[in-house]
Structures are given as structure tokens and as C-alpha cells.
Structure 1
Amino acid sequence: MSDTPKNEDTLGTVLVQVQDDLRQLKHSLGKITISEKGETLDIQALDTAIRRTERGIRKRAEEYLKTVNKQLLILPSIEDLQKKTIQLPKWNPTLESFTDTCPQRGELPGPSPGEKHKSALTMRLLCNPAHPKNRAIMHQKFGIPLPDLHKKSANSETHHRVITGPTMSIVPGGHRNLARPEEDMRAGLTDWKSRCHKQLTWGKEPGPTHERTGRECTPTWTTKAPAPPPSATSKSTGYRSMMQGSNCLTPESHQNVPVLVPIAISKFPFTITEGRTDPMAADFCRFKQHYCLCWGNLVDALEALEKLLREFAVPLAKVCGERLADFGLGWDIGWRRAPPLMGLLSVLENREQVLDLVLRPGQRYTGEGGIEAAAIRIQSCWRRYLARTTYLRHCRRKWAAGTIAISWLMHAQMRRVRKALQARRFRQLENYRNRAQHLATNWKHIQSSKRTIIHIPSLGYSQSQRLSLKGFDVLQNIQISRLCDVRDENVEVIYVSPRHLGDDILHYYSSLLKLHGASEVGDAELTQSSSCIKRFTILTPDAVEYFPTHNMCLSTLLKYSPRTLQRIRNLIQGKEAYIVGGVAHVDDLAVADELGVPILGPEPVVAQLYGTKSGGRRIFAGAEVDVTPGQGDIYSLNQLHETLARLMTQNMDVQRWLFKVDSEQGGRGTAYCDVCHLSCYNWALQEYRRHGPDLWNTEWVQEPVLLRYLDEVPEWLAHHAQPAKTSCYPNWACFLKTFLRQGGVVEAYPPSDSVTCLTVDLLLEPGGVVTMLSCGDQLHGSCQLETVGSSVPQTSVCPDTLHSICMRVGRACLQRLIIGYVSLDLATFLNHSTLEQKVWAIDVDLRYSNQLAMTQMLLILTGGTLDCRTCRLEVPVPIKEKSSARQIAAKPPAANRYAVIGSRLFHTNLSMVYPTVFFKMCKAQGIGFDMKRKEGTVFALHDSSERGSLGMVTVSEDLQGALVTFARNLSVIQQEISSPKMQGETNFKDLIKDIEDVLQMTVQNNAQAVEDNKAAT
């Protein structure tokens, strides 16, 4: 112990001061921002040098601390205690500096084996001072008198007497902490013994029971000193093992209330009030003394914590010294690096309360610099708002500029495409007109020579109509009977089918065409029948596979089918050819231009103008034929009401009024309303009878009735008008919406209980000739305004009258540049007032009709001719006996026949029967065609997949027989494919009922004719 320092030690103070100076220097260097004489100061290099110096000083301080601990803080040996007396510095701490916590575990330098024995003995004596032997040994060996715990003091009123004076930690191995003041370091062991003996008193009652051994142990006093720095505590292992089982008493409070306090968390807590630390507070001084050697790193953390508490106006914060030390030593401040908020708050013992206060909205603006912070925040928010608004405005303008640019580019592109399409369509129209002129010039030559007819049964309806039609491809394929045009030996047919046909359909039509002329025995007829199957070709556009659900018309599909177009070009190369379409469409011109052939039909624009209900009335007006009372081109509700009221006033005998949409076909867009539901009709009828028919035509007589009608017509229509087919338009409101949007006509239904409608098919040749091709009386289904079939030839109108009407209508169409196939609908009835037959022109369709297609099948089966001028169907009758050459050379005799045609018969149960099974079933029921007698039944198959629709033709010697055969066939088929539980959807029953009505009327007419003949004779 020769190197033990005898004088006052000031080296620790010097080291602390050096560290403070280095820290201040580092902060000063952080504020340097200028350069001198053009040379920039390398602050990072200075920072590195300062850090290196700090580490060196810290290392030297630790080495010094180890040396001092080894030389001064080891208690003297027990055997040398009487020989050597070491003068130790006095230790005179104040009582307020004691804390309530137990000493923290740490690692100190381990003592030698002899010192371990002495330390263990000393700690055993101090931990159990109540034992008599321990007091004797301490007094004998060390000269320290321990208090007698079995004696009561005058002031002991509680179980334990709490220490009110300063405390001291007993360090294993006899070490004392260097963080104490210098006067405490010079205090001797004797002075410490006397002070402890005077100030400490012990209770009488026995101490608490030990947790592990269960023995009764006496409480020990606890003196508390700051823990050694991390470099010293990391090496002390004996201290940690000794303090685990020790019990301690807490110091007495200021109110002298004896309380047994549990072990506290921190050894060096101190308080920060209103963001400022009291440098003279005992707890802060004790904390600063303990961490004096590393104080330079802790000052920054403490200043940051104080600043945070001041900024948020925290009134009280309790700091855990150990956490603050760990945070300060672990926080690398760097250059202008702010500490983390949660890291600072983690050093507080009441961090939950402080955190709640910090997170309170607006709390920052109540503390130090709150006004400036609020101003900064307001300015930053306002600047952010302005910047954000400017940015959003810029984005909107940029988006708008991009949208305008893209829109303009798209507009320019669409304009270029539109111009290109217009130019292309104009070129196609010019080519159509040129080819039409060529067709008109050479029509007679073409009709007498070999030619190819390209049949495209396209329905060029509007998109909304096409999408609303179910089975649109089947509807277009109903006219598959156009194949029968091959009955002319100079004609080859290319039929474009809207769907793929199966082998069974192809085989059926091949067999059907072989029957042409098969009943004749001549070689020429046999050759002709065998050549028919070689002169027709069925093609399907390859675009059908790509647009299966778009309901495109057949011309559009063919336009987008280059391979099919190329095949048609190969088939017609070097031949005279022309196209026979359906409902005109603009794509018909494109297909014709691609193929380079003319179209036997009007221009699409002309067809759209005159192919409507209103356009038909304009044609009839130009033809000067009788039309139904009515008016077309109605597009507003007021116009509808005024027109209807005027027509009802002028035609008092009409009982039902019809409303037809211009663009609809087949009775779909038709509604009706009966006059009998009008409340003022009886009064108006009385007024009509009172004035008489002659006087009624004056306006002043009709005015009261007209005004009354105007008042009641709107309500009358709303309550009593109804569509003819509710499947298309469920109520009047839906129908009226379409009627006013597309336009329509108002027409009178013929004022008779017996009305017959008939259809006449005309061919308006390009040369200007009008030819009647077919005529028949209509058959109706469920809707009386929808045509399902007809009886050929017609028997309702005088042939001369019919021919006159057809010629006038045909010439009116030719004047309007309408050529090709035209279908004319007429209505005939008996006028009760004059008892004369009247014929009204109802409608005109500018297309190839279903009746004409089925008539072609009828003619190729019977081998006969239909003379529409005389309304006679004549078929050749085979010669029964052998005749001479003169008789064979003569023309074979002809017989009259009547046929009933059903163009579209549908039954959902037909899809469950294959064609072969269906024909076997019909054969078993006696349904077939007799080629010798030219009588019987023939079917037309429309498709091979769904098989829900078909056509039927029955031929007989008289009209009544043909109607009966047709009705019987429908009844048999209905019974064969249906059951009581599965009837399916069909129009068979309605058609049978309509045929029965026609038969009854035919019987009555025949009876009336017989009576008239008898009366005449």
C-alpha cells in the first residue's frame, strides 16, 4: 500500500472539466458555416479528432479509477487491523440525500481470495447485527459497536424505526464509491461507526421472515450510494450475488410517518419542474456526481429533454437516471441530429402521463415558443395549402390539356376515318348506280342467258331491333327455299346461309331438288332433275364464328368474311351474276363492290325512306289506290291526339284504330284501341246520324264532336290501348315510348266483321316491267296482325282488280327508283252501306318475302306455273295410257291446284326430334307428297341445331282440301311431339283455329254462291 495517495485527489475533477471543454468545442464547431481566405474548414475532421480525444480521456479515467479502487477502497485485513490504522477521509453526507431504492446490480473488480474472505465475514456481520456473537466480533475485530436490537428506544412506537439520516451502500470487498465529495472520502471508519451508532435505532419486534429459508431475520439498514460507472460495474460480480437476498428499510418521510416502502426502480431519480432542472437539488447532485466522468454525453440528452418538456409545458417529469444515462451514452448526436421523441420520453418514470400531455392537440403551442411555433405552423399550413392548390390546379390543367389533346387527336382521327368512309361509301354508291344502269340495259339478255343469282337473305334492321329479336339467324334462314330458283335451267344459285347447316339439311334439300321433273319419263327431264343439285352452292360466312352473339345482319357478316368473298368471286368469275338481298342495308353496297356485281334492289337510303309504314302510305298516295284512313309521320303526343281525334270524327263507322311503328315488321310494332271504350262515342254517333253522312263532312258540324274527342282521347288511350304482341311491348307506355321515338302511323281497321288480308309479290324489273310472282290470302296466328302463312293462289279479290292495283303500285315504286322484289299487303272487306267490296292498301315491304320463297318450293315440286293474272295454279298431269307420237308431242293436260303455305311454324318440342325421326313419324302418319298426283305435304327445314322452326306446304285439288290437310298435319305433329304435361310454346293451335274460321267462311261463301246461281237461273 505504499502508493496510496495521501493528499486530496483532484484528477477526477480535471478529467470532467476536460470532457466539458471538449463537448463545448464540438457544439461550437457545429455552428461554423464560413470559410476564411478561400479555404473551407473541414469540420468532420475536427469532429473525428475530438471524438478520438474523448475516447482517450475516457480510457485514462477508467484506468485511474481502477488504480484508485485497488489502492484506496479495500478494507484492511482483520488480522492487521490492530497493527495498522489507516486514516480515511470523513464521510458526512446529509440525510436528505438518501433514496428509497435498493442498490443496483453491477460488476466490480473482483477481490483477492483473502479479501473475499474478509468481505464475506464483514457482510455477514453487518447483515445480522442482532446476533450477539456478530456484535462481539465486530467490536473486537473492527472496533465497530453494533446496536442492540432487543432494547427499546424512547421514541419507538412502531415495529421498525426508519432511518432519517444519510445512508451508505456497503460495496462487496469493502469498496467505496469515488463519486462522493472529497470531504466524505477523507472521513475515517471510526467517525462513520460513531455516527451510525448514534443515529440508528432498531425496533424490538422480530424482523420479517426470509423468503427462501423461512427463518426469522432482522431488518438491515440500507445506505445508498451512486452506482459506479459502466466500466466499473461491468466487472463486479460478487456485488450482484450478495444483494439478491438482502432486505432494506426506506428512509422516513418528511411527515415522520413510518412506512415500509418496496424496492424502487431507479437509484438516481430526479425531477424536472416546468422543463427546468434544479442544479442544487440533492437528487440531481447525486446523479451528476455518480456520472461525472461521462457527464459530457449526458448533458446533451438532458438539455434535449428539458427543451422538449418546456415546449410542451409539462409541469412535472420524473426522470430515471439510469435510463437517461443509457440513452445519453447510446445516442450519437452527430451534427445537428435531433433526438427521437419516444426515446426521450422513455427515460421518464411517469412517461404515460407526460405522453398523454404531449399528444394532446394544441399542447405544443402552450409551452415555450408556442406563439412562434403556432405562427410557423399556420404559415406552413397556409403555404402547404397554396402549394397543394397550385399543384392540383396544375394537375387539373395538365389533365385537361392532355384530355383536350387526346380528344382532338381522336376527333381528327375520327374525322379522317369518317371522311375516308364517306368517300368509300360514295364510291360504292356510284359503282352501284353504274352497275344498276348496266343491269337495266342488259336485263332482257341476262334473263334469257345463263346467269348466277347470289341470294343473301339479310335482314338489315337497326341494331336495337336485331338485338331484341330471338333466333335472329334462324329468321334470316327462313328463306332457304330460294334454292328452288334452280328450276330454271339457266340459273345457278349461290345461297349464303347465316348459320352452319348440317349434313342432314344438305342431304334433304339435295333430295328435294332431285324430285323436280322426276315424275316425267323423258330423258330430258331426268337430266334436268339430276343437274339441279349441281347448280346450287351453300356458303356460310367465316365471320359467323367470330360474332356468334352480336346479331349482325348477314351482309355485315359477309363483309367481314374475306375467304367467303374470295370463294364467291371464284364461283362467278366470267359469268353474269347479280345479288338478291333482303332488307336493304348499307353493307350490301360494300359486298357488291367487293364482288363487282350489281344488286337487284333499291339503294339503302331509298329503302329506308319508303320501306317504313309512313313511306308506304306515300307510295300508295302516289299510286292513287285506296288506302286505310290514317296519317303517317307522327312523332309527338299532341300530334297523335289531334290526328286521332280528327280521324275518328271523319270516320264514324270505324270501330278499331291501329298504331304502327314505322320501322317494325311482322306485327311486332302494332297496337290497337277500340272506340267502344270511349265514353262520348254513343253521343257522337247520335250526332252523326242526326246530321246524316252528306252534311257530316262540313267542319262546323264536326267541331263539337272533335273538341269532345280531344278531351277524352288521352285518357282513353292510356286506359284501353294495348299492344298486339305483349312479348315485344308489355304495355301501352312502353309501346308509346318507341312509337314517338321512331315515328309511326295511325290507321283505321276495316269496319267489318269479315276481313281478308292478302299478299302479292311483285318483281320490279330494272327495265321498267312490273311482274306479279305470287299472291295468296294470309293466315294469322295468335296475333291477328301477324302473318304466319297464306293460301295460294288468292281467292278474295277479283283478279282484274288485283292486277290493276299491283300495276299502279309497281309503277309508283319505279318512279321512286325502287327496283327488285316488293311485297304488297292488301285488305278486302264488304262495305255494309253500299254492299260493295272494298280493297285497301295496307303496307308495302321492299324485300324478298317468305311467301315468295315458299312459292318457289311449291312450283319446283309440282312443276307447275302460277298465273297471277288469272290467279290459277296449274300443274301438269301425267298421261295414264300409252299414246301415239302425235299425242306425246302435244302439250300434256294441266290441272288446277291450291296450296297452303306456312312459312314459319314453331314449336319448342321440335328441338327434341331429329329430322330423320321426324320424317319417319310423318310417314307413319300418312304425311307425304305424291309426285304423280302432285298432292301432299312438303316441309322446309331451317336449321339443324335448334330445330324449333320449320315451313310446310300442302297441295290439294281444292282450297278446302288444302286447308284441311294443313290443319290435320299440324294437329298430328302436335300430338306426336307433345304430352299433356309438356305442351311447349307453339303457334300450331292458333293457326289451326284460324284455318277453321277460314273453312267455315269458305263453306258459307260456297253456299251463298250456290243460292245466287239458283236465283239467277
Structure 2
Amino acid sequence: MNSLDSVNSVEPFQQLNLTLRDRWRSADDFDTSDADIVVIPSISVDQRELLKIEGFHHYEERLLFSLIRLRNPRTRLVYITSQPLHPSVIDYYLQLLPGIPFSHARDRLLLLSTYDSSTRPLSQKILDRPRLLERIRQAVNHDRAYMICYNSTPLERDLSIQLGIPLFALDPNLLIWGTKSGSRQIFAESDVPHPDGSLLVWSAKDLAVATAELWERQPTLKRIVIKLNEGFSGEGNALLDLRPLEEISPGSATHHDRVATLLERFRTLRFEAKSETWENYSSRIPELGAIAEAFIEGEEKRSPSVQGRVTPIGEVEILSTHDQILGGPSGQIYLGCRFPADEAYRMRLQDLALRVGKTLAEKGVLERFGVDFVAVHNPETNDWDFQAIEINLRKGGTTHPFMTLKFLTNGRYDLSSGLFYSQQGRAKYYMATDNLQKDQYRGLLPNDLMDVIAHHQLHFDTSTETGTVFHLMGCLSEFGKLGLTSIGNSPQQAEDIYRRVVKAIDEETKPSDPNHTLSMRWNSWY
């Protein structure tokens, strides 16, 4: 899209979204009200970065929690994907709905597909199919319809305008505040602690200069994180170890020599993405930009996050807190989470995220935001120190497990305690992952998973509101990858349920490799 097209699309997009403000009464009313919801689960991010994630084209399934909205007998839902979804996956979600006949829910669900397996974003595929656009238009009542998406870009904005349906998501003109450099600016304006780092640069040479300047400001640094400005799920991060570079440390060499050595040293960066190389990584810097940031050290270190949203009337709500489980070579790739975050610090995290949310609201941001932190335990004070490291303006990996819990239980998040309570007043907890992945799971079809669930009674029990809800089932056969959310009435029960699921699937698939190990490291934090 050229700049003139972009300008011309802003006004009709904003006019459409004003209708959301007119409909808004409260968060709970909006989340449960009668509506026609068009779900666009397009992963509209840089496709070369997305290719680093195994099975990424199945991530369109992550918004299937939206089907639970059909528990409202007057809600209708249109769900579009690149390729048709397996029928048993749809049946699985609809059978989770308490008190709703399966056939009634199915009649209110329209599944559409572009039948296009290319790596282009789904939103672009839909825009390229006029007849599909017309079918979506005719399927909804425009007086009560709105769109939701994974992330909002000019593609989703164009789709909203073409359909004449408001998009409950960020205006793409504000995407800068979800980048690495934009996050740092928001943290500074919000007076939220964050690591020392550089401004945005657009070449490897300038990145070496920025890295050298950061090291010179903080001579005791051991490691520095290099981040692509628009990296995804930690896959755009790399780690530079300064400890072997004592001969060019501040005070031991000139700035010019330090820059030259660092530029050469970038070839040995420790990349989070498995197949990444400096040749490819450096080629992305002129396209995406990059920053250098101090790596936070600590003996006992965690990665909590806070999720919130800005409503159409500009109010900021805190939705949840999580302790994230990270993996990868240096522990920067998102694997899963625990809800809620540790009692020792979740209230303080809420306060910090609220500051961030208010700054975002002032800039016009709408809907989801997530703030990732690094928490380091201070043994002298027996307390936790926090540094904010990133803002995500999209439905991240913590969105679908929390919304699954909320829609299944029809419960509420209590801001005063940071706990979630079911309608019966019982606190709920969960462990969730997008990355339960083992070679032995390859070849397991969705129907096979249903057999395992039924045989071992691993399903979610609506009477006790405990059990496991699965997602990313389309990833199983080709990639041996599965997502799940295990819900319990205590942190320990949630963990026990999770481990029982893993054990059952392991037993059913019986690996031939005796050295096979689980791809996730769950730490006992409770």
C-alpha cells in the first residue's frame, strides 16, 4: 500500500471503529453480549521471521477459543482459515459448551477457508478473493458485527474497510509502540524500570557502534541482547557474550577498535532461532531495524508478564498476570505460562503495567497489550527487582489460555488479589503451553488424540471446571507439536493435571529413543 492509500484508509477505519465506542457498556457486557463475530486469525508478521517457528501455519488455530463464545445462544461466529480445519477439532470445541446443544452451536458457526497454503498472511488471501469477501459480508448482521484478529496491520485495516465491519484491535498506525524500540520509549514515558539500551539502528555497523556505547556506559556488563525491532516470540533475539572480549573492554582499547571487533564478533552471536545465521540476520537489520540492550543477570530469575486492554472509551483494564516459561539457547523464546504470577509480586506487576497501559491509551492504542518483565530475586532484601523488557500489541501466547478459562467458567478476574474466580467463587489456576513437542508425537492425527483423551479421561470436566483443553491439534501429525491448558483449583492441581496429560500421551506414543526428553523445562515456583 502506498502512503496516499494509507492516509485515505484511516478515516473510514476510524469511523467504523467509533461504532464500538457506541456499543461499549462494560468489559463483561461486551465479552458476553449478543454479537456476530468475524474471527481473522491471520499471523500478519514478517514472514521470514515467522518461518523460524515450526508449524506456524497451524497457529491460525490459536483463536479457536473464540468458539466458546457460542455458549451465548444468540451469538454467531464466522471463522476463516487458510486451509480447512479438521472436523474433529471443531467438534471438540463445540462439545465444551455447557448447556448448549451441539447442533444449535454448530448452526451458528460458519467456517470458511481460502484453500491457500502459501506463506502469505491469511488477511491478504481473503482480500484477494472478492467472492469470499462478499460471502462474509452477507453472513453477518452489520449492526452488531465486529472483527477480531491475532494482530492488527494495514492488511486487517483494509479487510475491516472492505467488509464494512469494525475491527476491535489496534490502529496499525500505532504499531510502533509494540516494537522493541517503541516499547523502550513507552517504558521511559511511564517511569517504568527497564534495561539500559540503544536507540533503533538500521545497519550492522551502527549496531556495533550502539553496542560499544552501551558497554562503555556499563563496563561491568557480561552479556548484551541484540534484538530485531520487529522480532516475534523471542525468535529475533541473539546474545552477545562480552566475557571473552576482555582485550577490548572499556579502558583496554579504543572505541574504534571496540566497534571493529564487535562487528566481527557478531558472526558468533548465539541466536535464539535454531537455524539462524549472521548472514541472514544482518540482512534483516536494514528492513526491520535492531537495538542492543543490557542482558539482565541474576541467580534466581523469572519472566512474568501482565496482560491488559484499552477499551473503546479509553479505560485501561488489567486482565491477567502470568509467570512465563521460556526456552531456547539463552531462555528468551516463549514456551508456556502459569496463571497467575507468583503472589510475591503480581500486585506490583499490575501497578507497573497499569502505568504502561495509561501511556498507551493516551497515544490512542486500543484493545490488547502485554508487558513482559524480568524479575530478579534480591537475597539481601528477600524481594524482587523488576525490569520491563517488551510490549506486545497483539493476542500473545498468554491470551488463548486465559480467554479459554474465562469463557468456559464465565468467571471474573479480581484486580484486588490478582486471582480468577469461577461463578461459584472458586479460585482457578492453570499451566499452559504452545510447545509440547516430541518426535514421538509425529504422525498422531487429531482423531488419535481424541482417542487418547477419551481413554485416559483427560478432557475438561464442566461440572468441576478442571481438566485440560487442547489446541494446535493440527500441528501434531507433521511437527509432533501440541498446545494445551491444564486448569485446576490450585497451582499444584493444575501442574498435576498437566503432567498426567504428558504421561498419558507419552505412554500411547511409546518413543523408540530411550534418551528422549521433554522439550519444556517446568520450574516449581509454587
TM band (smaller chain): 0.7 to 0.9
2:340 aligns with: 793
Question: 2:77 aligned with 1:493, yes or no?
Answer: yes
* 2:494 aligned partner: 962
Deviations 1:434-459 (A, max 9, x none): 12233334422883853222221112
Q: Which of residues 838, 841, 850 is equivalent to 2:388?
A: 841
Shift of 1:487: 4.7
Aligned counterparts of 2:131 and 2:77: Cα–Cα separation in 1: 19
Q: One-letter code of the match for 1:777? A: D
Pairwise CA distance, 1:875? 2.9
Deviation at 1:505, TM superposition (A): 1.6
**AA at the equivalent of 2:237:** T
Displacement of 1:787 in angstroms is 0.8
1:681-830 equivalence runs, <5 A: 705=251, 707=253, 711-712=257-258, 714-715=260-261, 718-719=264-265, 721-730=268-277, 732-739=278-285, 741-783=287-329, 784-795=331-342, 798-830=345-377
Distance 1:774 1:916 in 2: 33
Give SS of 2:246's match.
Answer: coil
> 1:436: which partner in 2?
17
Report Cα offsets for 1:842-897 as digits up to 9, x if no partner. Answer: 11111122321122222334443333542212235xxxxxxxxxxxxxxx5x2223
Asked if structure 2 preserves the Cα contact closer than 8 Å seen for 1:495 and 1:536, the reply is no
Partner of 1:596: 164
Q: Which of the numbers 194, 208, 223 marks the counterpart of 1:627? A: 194
Matched, 1:906 2:437: yes
1:540 aligns with 2:112: yes
Query: What amino acid is aligned across from residue 124 of structure 2 in structure 1?
Result: T
Which residue identity does 2:13 align to in structure 1?
Y
Counterpart amino acid of residue 510 in structure 1: L
Residue type of the partner of 2:39?
H
2:46 to 462, 465, 468: 462
After superposition, the Cα gap between the structure-2 partners of 1:501 and 1:824, relative to the gap in structure 1 and judged at 3 Å, is: same
Task: Tell me if the contact between 1:762 and 1:770 (Cα under 8 Å) persists in the aligned partners.
Answer: yes
* Alignment correspondent of 1:277: none
CA contact (8 A) 2:438 2:519 kept: no
Shift of residue 797 of structure 1?
5.3
Q: Does 2:144 match 1:612?
A: no
Deviation of the 1:966 alpha carbon: 2.0
Match for residue 522 of structure 1?
A: none
Structure 1 residue 951 corresponds to structure 2 residue 520: no
Partner of 1:854: 401
My pick for the range that moved more, 424-433 or 589-598, is 424-433
The answer to whether the aligner puts 1:453 opposite 2:34 as a matched pair is: no
Q: Work out whether 1:676 is the aligned partner of 2:243.
A: yes
Distance 1:832 1:979, change over 3 A: closer
1:990 corresponds in structure 2 to 519
Give the conservation status (yes or no) of the 8 Å contact 1:765–1:819.
yes
Does residue 639 of structure 1 match 2:220?
no
User: In structure 2, how many angstroms separate the alpha carbons of the residues matched to 1:757 and 1:587?
Assistant: 32
- Between stretches 719-728 and 613-622, larger displacement belongs to 719-728
| Pair 1:814–1:790, CA change in 2 (3 A) | same
1:932 alignment partner, one of 449, 458, 463: 463
Q: Deviations over 1:400-440 (max 9, x none)?
A: xxxxxxxxxxxxxxxxxx8xx76655443221011223333
Alignment-mate amino acid for residue 160 of structure 2: A
| Distance of aligned partners of 1:583 and 1:983 in 2 relative to their CA distance in 1, 3 Å threshold | farther
Q: Give aligned pairs, total.
A: 520
> What SS class does the counterpart of residue 519 from structure 2 fall into?
helix
How far has the Cα of 1:529 moved from its partner? 6.6
Deviation (angstroms), 1:586: 1.9
1: CA distance between counterparts of 2:57 and 2:242? 40
Structure 1 residue matching 2:235: 3-state secondary structure? coil
Q: CA deviation at 1:504?
A: 1.4
Q: What code does the residue aligned with 1:573 have?
A: N
Give the number of the structure whose residues are more often helix, by fraction. 1
| TM-score with structure 2 setting the length | 0.88
Secondary structure of the residue aligned to 1:444 is coil
Q: Deviations over 1:785-813 (max 9, x none)?
A: 11111001111653432222121111111
For residues 393 and 177 of structure 2, the distance between their equivalents in structure 1, rounded to whole angstroms, comes to 8
The Cα of 1:660 is off from its aligned counterpart by 0.5
Between structures 1 and 2, the one with greater strand share? 2
Aligned partner letter, 1:958: S
Structure ranking higher on relative contact order (CA contacts 8 Å, 6+ apart): 2
The 2-side partners of 1:489 and 1:825 are apart by 36
Specify the SS of the correspondent of 1:592: helix
User: Who is 2:64 aligned against?
Assistant: 480
Distance in 2 of aligned mates of 1:424 and 1:736: 31
| Paired AA for residue 511 in structure 1 | Q
Alpha-carbon spacing, 1:649–1:835, altered in 2? closer, same or farther (3 Å): farther
Does the CA contact (< 8 Å) of 1:668 and 1:728 recur in 2?
no
AA aligned to 1:537 is: L
1:977 aligns with 2:525: no
Of the two, which has the highest radius of gyration?
Answer: 1
Alpha-carbon contact 1:824-1:843 (below 8 Å) kept: yes
- What is the CA distance between 1:983 and its match in structure 2? 8.3
Q: 1:556 aligns with which of 101, 124, 127?
A: 124
| Counterpart contact for 1:662–1:745, Cα < 8 Å | yes
Q: Secondary structure at the match of 1:512?
A: coil
Q: Secondary structure at the match of 1:476?
A: helix
Q: State the shift of 1:925 in Å.
A: 4.2
Once the two structures are superposed, the pairs formed by residues 115-126 of structure 1 within 5 Å of their partners are none
Question: Structure 2: how far apart are the matches of 1:741 and 1:707?
Answer: 32
1:667 to 234, 244, 257: 234
**What's 2:412 paired with?**
865
Deviation (angstroms), 1:556: 0.8
Opposite residue 798 of structure 1, the aligned amino acid is Y
One-letter amino acid of the structure 1 residue matched with residue 69 of structure 2: D
CA contact (8 A) 1:911 1:947 kept: yes
Q: SS of the residue aligned with 1:659?
A: strand
What per-residue deviation string (whole Å, max 9, x for no partner) do you get for residues 576-597 of structure 1?
A: 1211122222222222122211
Q: Compute the displacement of 1:748 (Å).
A: 1.6
Q: Structure 1 stretches of 5 or more lacking a match?
A: 1-417, 517-525, 685-703, 877-891, 1003-1017
Work out whether residues 495 and 539 of structure 1, in 8 Å CA contact, stay in contact via their aligned partners in 2.
yes
Residue type of the alignment partner of 2:376: F
Contact 1:451/1:490, CA 8 A, preserved across alignment = yes
| Preserved CA contact (<8 Å) 2:434 2:472 | no
Amino acid of the structure 1 residue aligned with 2:348 = T
**C-alpha offsets along residues 343-392 of structure 1, whole Å, 9 cap, x if unaligned?**
xxxxxxxxxxxxxxxxxxxxxxxxxxxxxxxxxxxxxxxxxxxxxxxxxx
CA contact (8 A) 2:273 2:328 kept: no
Residue identity matched to 2:386: V
- RMSD of aligned Cα (Å): 3.2
The secondary structure found in structure 1 opposite 2:319 is strand
Matches of residues 36-47 of structure 1 in structure 2 within 5 Å?
A: none
CA contact (8 A) 2:63 2:150 kept: no
Partner residue, 1:188: none
Distance (Å, rounded) in 1 between the aligned partners of 2:91 and 2:475: 12
The question of whether the paired residues in 1 share the 8 Å contact of 2:50 and 2:232 is answered with: no
Quickly say closer, same or farther: Cα 1:638–1:468, change in 2 above 3 A: closer
Which 5+ residue runs of structure 2 have no aligned equivalent?
none
Q: TM-score, normalised by structure 1?
A: 0.47
Contact 1:539 1:564 in 2 (8 A): no
Secondary structure in structure 2 of the residue aligned to 1:631: coil
Partner of 2:274, secondary structure, is coil
C-alpha distance in 2, partners of 1:938/1:470? 21
Give the residue type in structure 2 aligned to 1:902: T
Partners of 1:532 and 1:654 lie apart in 2 by 61
